[in-house]
Amino acid sequence: MERIGLAVVGAGYWGPNLVRNAQQTPALRLRYLCDLDMDRARGVLGDYSTVKVSGSLDEVLDDPEVHAVAIATPAGTHLKVALQALEAGKHVLVEKPLAANFAEGRRLVETAEERGLTLMLDHTYCYTPAVRRLRELVRGGELGAIQYLDSVRINLGLVQPDVDVLWDLAPHDLSVFDAILPDGVTAESVAAHGSDPIGAGHACVAHLTIRLTGGAMAHVHVNWLSPTKIRTMVIGGSNRTVVWDDLNPGQRLSIYDRGVDRGVARTADREQALISYRVGDMVAPALTEREALRAVMAEFADSIADGRAPLTDGHAGLRVLALLEAASESLRAGGTFVDVRQEILA
């Protein structure tokens, strides 16, 4: 099959990673690196690269050998760049978040669907071996009915000048929730609490509580000010509980056959609740380590070739935006629960 001609737009922090993985994906052929700072782009490619450097998005989109565009520009530019690419007939892979707000994100999704083009989010964590296994465990029913999800993502910096810690870090956790939860389990409402102890102008520490259909609850703690780095997620089910420690390459997943069971004791005149504690084995499944961004690029290429929606399609990006917007509204309202948009969650 003909290789898919790709242009990467943005040679800053994340762009070089897209370039490297695109060049190592057999189904893709990297043709351009586009950045207003052309010297920076040349520095990313090196002296001997045959990939073209351009400072003009128009030039890139006018090239018929460019079939797809991967966008690694600031979130505030996603609408303009992605919309221009879609209107030029190009498939689009865009960094998180999909857009600066829900309305802009919906415009991108509608444009892609009207033109029959692939719109995919680079929710990188969803393509890690650990999260792929989590998806199998949760959606396959091995954990039983989901009772709670608890995620911690804290570290020292980087304090962002234009967005709060929720918009910076929480999309990682929210996109993982979206990828692994069973069909029919969706977010109903969100409450957010945050603080700005250093005077940054927006929340640097935040806690997010999400009510899910069926009575389960999800919790996310994000923090720019912690001296230690923690990346953990606990998913509790009625049968088993799994712990994901992303900073432990030797044992990223631990599956516990431990939990709390509730029974009923009946006598002649009454019923009494009985609580028992199940203490079983712990299993650490072996995972093959591989770079998640390579899997992102492969999924992008396959979805284009097969004419199907990718795992993290535009609707997944919209669901994350809906949660973030509800969280921001809750933060402004002092932490009250705010309903999440439901029209795009199906």
> Exposure pattern of 60-82 as b/e (b: 16+ CB <10 Å)?
bbebeebbbbbbbbebeebbebb
What pTM does this model have?
0.91
pLDDT tens column, 121-161: 999 999 999 999 999 999 999 999 999 999 999 999 889 88
Residue ranges of the domains in the chain? Answer: 4-125+293-313, 126-290+321-339
pLDDT of residue 2: 86
CATH 3.40.50.150 fits 4-125+293-313, yes or no: no
Burial (CB < 10 A; 0-12, 13-18, 19+), residue 193, is middle
| CATH value of 126-290+321-339 in 3.30.300.180, 3.30.980.10, 3.40.50.1970, 3.30.360.10 | 3.30.360.10
The rounded distance, in Å, linking the Cα atoms of 208 and 177 is 13
pLDDT tens column, 43-71: 999 987 889 999 999 999 999 999 999 99
Cα-based torsion angle of the residue sequence 190, 191, 196, 197 in order, rounded to the nearest 10 degrees = -140
Choose among 155, 153, 205, 149: nearest CA to 178.
Answer: 149
